[in-house]
C-alpha cells in the first residue's frame, strides 16, 4: 500500500492524519452493511442501481479526474490493470489522479476549477470548500446512486452531515477505509522502522528499542556498505520536504507512542486525549526527530539533500538502494519491486514500543475524504464511483481482483487462486501491475471488514493461510529468522509477549458500542485565525528544523533548541495547544465522554 499519510483516527485514537501519509495499514459500524436498506437481495446487487449495463458502460467510458494531495502515486501508471478494467466494466469510468502537494492543492482551490473528485482533509478544508462553493452536496445523488453507501456506512453519512457540513446539515464528504474493528490477522506491517533487511540481518538484527539504537544499527550498516553495488553513495537516513512536518512527526511514533489528530502542532499518547505542544514540549516527536537527525548528520549518516529534497527525489534514491532506513515500506521507492526475485529489500522490523498492525477506523481516513467538485461535468458518474468503492463487491475487487479471475468461490467461501497467491509471493512488477490494493486510499471499506454475505474479510489476502502462502521471498526470510510463518506473525508474537503494543491495545476489553463511541468524537476544527497561526508556526518550524539539525555539537544544538522553543512560544504555540485541549474537552463532553 502506498500511503502518504498515516490514517487519521478520531480524537480518542489519536493517530496522525497525514501517513503514511503515507503515510503510513490500518461513522458507521460497517457491520450494519448486512442491513441492506435499499431492499436489494444482496449488498453487491445494489451497485447496479442507477448504472448502465456493462455493455453500455464499455461504450461510454467516462474519465473521472481525482485530485489527491499525494505526489508520487502509482495509480496512473497502471490504467490497464485488472482493477482499473473492473471499474470501467462495472460503472463505465476511468479514474485518473491529479497529484498535488499542499501548495499546488491550495493554488487549485484558489482557482476554483477542480477535477471531478477532490480527496482532502475534511477537518482542514471543509469550510473553504463549502463556503467557496467548490464542491456540491451529495444528498440527492446519494438517494439515486448511493444505495451501498447508505447500507454499509450509514452512520458515517449521518456523522458527515452533522460534523463535516460547515453547519449546513448536508452530505459533502465521505472518508475511505472505514473499518469498525481490527482484522483477525496481522498483514505485512507497512509503517515503522523500515530497514534494508539483508544488511540488518548481516549485523545480527540488534534490538531497536530506541532511536539511538536505530542510529547505531544504521551506522554499522553504512560502515559495511558505504556504496551501492553500482557505486552510488549510501546514506543511513534521508527525508523529503514537500509534505510539511511529516518527516519530523511520523518516524518517531513507534518509539514515543505519541501521535497527532487534526493538527500537526499537537499530539497525545495513543488512546489518550490530553495533548502536548509538538513544538514546545521537549518530549514530542518533533524534538525526538531533531535529536535523531542531528546525531545522524554529525555522524555523516544524513543525506545532505534531506533539507531541500522533494518526495520524488527521495524515492529515486530509495529505489537506487542509497538509503538504509526509512519510515514505511511504500516510502522506499521501487527497490523491493526490482529485487523481488533475489529476496533483497526493505521491510518493517520490530522497533520501539509499538507496532502499526491495523486500527479501528469507524470514521475512516478523514484526511483523505472524498467530495464531488462543482466543476465536474459528470457528478452522477462520480457518485456511482463512490458508491462502488463502498460496496462489498467493489471493495473486494479493489483488494483482490475479479471473481473467476484472481479468486473463486470454493464450497461457498471466496478463495484466492493459487496463481494469484504465487503472483503475490513473487512480488515485483507482475503483481504490482494487477492494481490489487495498489492504493488503499481509494478503497471505501477497510480490508478487515467482513462481507456479511459470505462471512469473509473483504481483503482475502488477510487470512493467515493466504498471508503465509503469498509471502514474498523477502517476507519469508524475515519471518523464518524470527520463527514465524508470515511477517505479521513476527509482530503478533511480540505483542502477545508484551514486548510491543498496538494502536488498538488501549481498546482491549471494550464492547463494540464503546469502541464506536470513543472513536467517533468529532475532531477539532480551527478558526480562520488559528488556521493562520498554525500555518505560520509550521513554516517557522520547518525553518528552525534545518538550523537545529545542522548544529555542529551538543552546545550549539542546545542553543538552537532553546532559541527555537522561545520563538515557537512567541508565535503562539502554547496558546494554540491550550485552545486545542479546551476544544477536545468540549467535544468529548458533548459526546458523552
How many Å apart are CA 121 and CA 366, to the nearest integer?
Answer: 6
As beta bridge partners, residue 94 has 63
Position 47 confidence tier, pLDDT thresholds 50, 70, 90:
very low
How many Å apart are CA 144 and CA 148, to the nearest integer?
Answer: 11
* Least trusted range by pLDDT, from 51-60, 115-124, 202-211, 526-535: 51-60
Side-by-side strand order, sheet with 276-277? 258-259, 266-269, 276-277
What number is the average pLDDT over the span 567-585? 97
Over 80: is that where the pLDDT of 127 sits?
Answer: yes
- Give Rg (Cα) of the chain: 23
Over 80: is that where the pLDDT of 359 sits?
Answer: no
Over 70: is that where the pLDDT of 212 sits?
Answer: yes
User: Which residue in 84, 53, 76, 62 sits closest to 2, CA to CA?
Assistant: 76
Mean pLDDT of the chain, nearest integer: 89
What is the structure's pLDDT at 281? 98
C-alpha 344 chain-centroid distance:
25
Superfamily in which the 191-354+509-519 domain is placed by CATH: Periplasmic binding protein-like II (3.40.190.10)
How many Å apart are CA 302 and CA 314, to the nearest integer?
Answer: 12
Over 70: is that where the pLDDT of 375 sits?
Answer: yes
What is the structure's pLDDT at 229? 93
How many Å apart are CA 390 and CA 373, to the nearest integer?
Answer: 19
Over 80: is that where the pLDDT of 42 sits?
Answer: no
| Residue in the structure block whose three cell numbers are 553504512 | 222
How many Å apart are CA 300 and CA 165, to the nearest integer?
Answer: 50
How many Å apart are CA 309 and CA 317, to the nearest integer?
Answer: 11
Q: Are strands 407-410 and 413-416 parallel, antiparallel or unpaired?
A: antiparallel
Domain extents in the chain: 62-181+362-467, 191-354+509-519
Position 123 confidence tier, pLDDT thresholds 50, 70, 90:
confident
* Least trusted range by pLDDT, from 16-30, 241-255, 505-519, 535-549: 16-30
Position 59 confidence tier, pLDDT thresholds 50, 70, 90:
low
What is the structure's pLDDT at 170? 98
What sign results for the dihedral spanned by CA atoms 539, 542, 546, 549? Answer: positive
Over 70: is that where the pLDDT of 410 sits?
Answer: yes
Cβ–Cβ under 8 Å, residues 588 and 11? yes
Cell numbers standing for residue 582? 479546551
What is the structure's pLDDT at 427? 82
Cell numbers standing for residue 493? 508474537
User: Which residue in 269, 185, 196, 202 sits closest to 234, CA to CA?
Assistant: 196
Cβ–Cβ under 8 Å, residues 593 and 305? no
What is the structure's pLDDT at 523? 86
Return left, alpha or beta for 356; rule: phi > 0 is left, psi -120 to 50 is alpha, else beta. beta
What number is the average pLDDT over the span 186-215? 96
What is the structure's pLDDT at 577? 98
How many Å apart are CA 558 and CA 553, to the nearest integer?
Answer: 9
C-alpha 383 chain-centroid distance:
23
Return left, alpha or beta for 340; rule: phi > 0 is left, psi -120 to 50 is alpha, else beta. alpha
Does the predicted model carry a pTM greater than 0.95? no
In 3-state terms the chain splits into helix, strand, coil percentages (rounded to 5) of 45, 15, 40
Over 80: is that where the pLDDT of 333 sits?
Answer: yes
How many Å apart are CA 22 and CA 260, to the nearest integer?
Answer: 14
User: What's the length of the chain?
Assistant: 593
What is the structure's pLDDT at 24? 34
Over 80: is that where the pLDDT of 15 sits?
Answer: no
What number is the average pLDDT over the span 100-120? 92
User: Which residue in 278, 90, 225, 189 sits closest to 493, CA to CA?
Assistant: 189
Position 384 confidence tier, pLDDT thresholds 50, 70, 90:
very high
Over 80: is that where the pLDDT of 30 sits?
Answer: no
Cβ–Cβ under 8 Å, residues 366 and 13? no
Cβ–Cβ under 8 Å, residues 569 and 258? no
Q: CATH topology of 62-181+362-467 equal to that of 191-354+509-519?
A: yes
Over 90: is that where the pLDDT of 153 sits?
Answer: yes
How many Å apart are CA 411 and CA 456, to the nearest integer?
Answer: 13
Cell numbers standing for residue 248? 519530523
The class level of CATH for 62-181+362-467 reads alpha beta
CA distances from 337 to 127, 398, 424, 433, 472 (A): 41, 20, 11, 11, 11
How many Å apart are CA 379 and CA 139, to the nearest integer?
Answer: 12
Q: What is the DSSP letter of 317?
A: H
Amino acid at each position: 500500500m502506498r500511503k502518504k499519510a498515516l490514517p487519521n483516527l478520531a480524537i480518542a485514537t489519536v493517530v496522525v492524519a497525514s501517513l503514511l501519509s503515507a503515510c503510513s495499514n490500518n461513522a458507521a459500524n460497517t457491520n450494519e452493511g448486512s442491513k441492506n436498506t435499499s431492499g436489494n437481495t444482496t449488498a453487491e446487487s445494489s451497485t447496479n442501481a442507477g448504472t448502465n449495463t456493462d455493455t453500455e458502460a464499455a461504450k461510454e467510458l467516462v474519465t473521472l479526474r481525482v485530485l489527491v494531495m499525494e505526489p508520487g502515486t502509482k495509480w496512473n501508471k497502471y490504467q490497464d490493470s485488472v482493477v482499473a478494467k473492473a471499474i470501467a466494466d462495472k460503472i463505465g469510468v476511468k479514474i485518473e489522479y491529479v497529484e498535488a502537494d499542499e501548495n499546488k492543492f491550495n493554488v487549485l482551490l484558489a482557482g476554483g476549477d477542480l477535477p471531478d473528485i477532490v480527496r482532502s482533509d475534511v477537518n482542514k478544508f471543509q469550510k473553504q470548500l463549502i463556503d467557496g462553493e467548490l464542491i456540491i452536496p451529495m444528498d440527492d445523488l446519494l438517494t439515486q446512486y448511493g444505495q451501498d453507501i447508505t447500507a454499509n456506512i450509514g452512520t458515517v453519512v449521518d456523522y458527515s452531515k452533522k460534523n463535516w457540513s460547515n453547519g449546513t446539515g448536508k452530505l459533502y464528504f465521505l472518508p475511505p477505509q472505514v473499518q469498525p474493528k481490527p482484522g483477525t490477522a496481522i498483514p505485512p506491517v507497512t509503517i515503522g522502522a523500515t530497514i534494508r533487511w539483508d544488511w540488518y540481518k548481516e549485523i545480527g538484527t540488534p534490538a531497536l528499542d530506541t532511536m539511538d539504537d536505530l542510529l547505531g544499527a544504521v551506522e554499522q550498516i553504512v560502515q559495511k556498505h558505504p556504496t551501492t553495488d553500482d557505486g552510488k553513495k549510501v546514506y543511513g537516513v534521508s527525508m523529503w520536504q514537500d509534505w510539511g512536518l511529516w518527516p519530523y512527526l511520523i518516524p518517531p511514533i513507534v518509539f514515543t507512542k505519541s501521535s497527532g489528530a487534526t493538527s500537526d502542532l499537537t499530539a497525545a499518547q495513543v488512546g489518550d486525549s490530553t495533548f502536548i505542544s509538538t513544538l514546545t514540549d521537549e518530549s514530542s516527536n518533533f524534538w525526538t526527530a531533531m535529536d535523531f537527525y542531528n546525531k545522524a548528520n554529525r555522524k555523516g549518516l544524513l543525506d545532505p539533500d534531506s533539507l531541500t529534497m522533494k518526495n520524488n527525489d527521495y524515492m529515486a534514491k530509495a529505489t537506487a538502494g542509497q538509503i538504509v532506513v526509512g519510515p514505511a515500506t511504500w516510502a522506499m521507492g521501487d527497490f523491493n519491486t526490482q529485487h523481488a526475485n533475489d529476496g533483497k529489500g526493505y521491510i518493517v522490523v520490530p522497533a520501539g514500543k509499538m507496532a502499526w498492525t491495523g486500527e479501528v477506523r469507524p470514521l475512516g481516513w478523514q484526511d483523505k475524504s472524498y467530495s464531488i467538485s462543482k466543476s465536474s461535468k459528470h457528478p452522477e458518474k462520480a457518485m456511482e464511483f463512490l458508491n462502488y468503492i463502498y460496496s462489498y463487491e467493489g471493495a473486494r475487487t479493489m483488494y483482490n481482483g475479479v471473481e473467476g479471475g484472481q479468486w473463486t468461490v470454493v464450497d461457498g467461501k471466496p478463495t484466492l487462486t493459487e496463481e494469484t497467491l504465487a503472483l503475490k509471493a513473487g512480488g515485483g512488477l507482475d503483481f504490482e501491475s494487477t492494481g490489487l490494493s495498489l492504493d488503499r486510499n481509494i478503497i471505501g471499506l477497510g480490508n478487515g471488514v467482513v462481507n456479511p454475505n459470505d462471512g469473509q474479510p473483504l481483503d482475502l489476502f488477510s487470512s493467515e493461510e493466504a498471508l503465509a502462502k503469498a509471502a514474498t521471498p523477502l517476507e519469508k526470510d524475515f519471518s523464518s529468522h524470527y520463527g514465524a510463518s508470515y511477517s505479521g506473525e513476527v509482530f503478533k508474537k511480540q505483542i502477545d509477549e508484551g514486548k510491543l503494543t498496538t494502536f488498538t491495545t488501549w481498546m482491549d476489553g471494550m464492547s463494540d458500542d464503546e469502541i464506536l463511541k470513543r472513536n467517533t468524537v468529532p475532531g477539532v476544527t480551527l478558526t480562520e485565525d488559528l488556521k493562520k497561526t498554525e500555518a505560520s508556526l509550521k513554516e517557522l518550524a520547518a525553518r528552525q528544523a534545518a538550523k537545529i539539525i545542522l548544529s555542529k555539537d551538543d552546545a550549539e544544538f542546545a542553543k538552537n533548541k532553546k532559541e527555537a522553543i522561545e520563538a515557537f512560544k512567541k508565535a503562539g504555540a502554547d496558546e494554540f495547544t491550550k485552545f486545542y485541549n479546551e476544544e477536545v474537552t468540549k467535544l468529548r463532553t458533548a459526546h458523552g465522554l
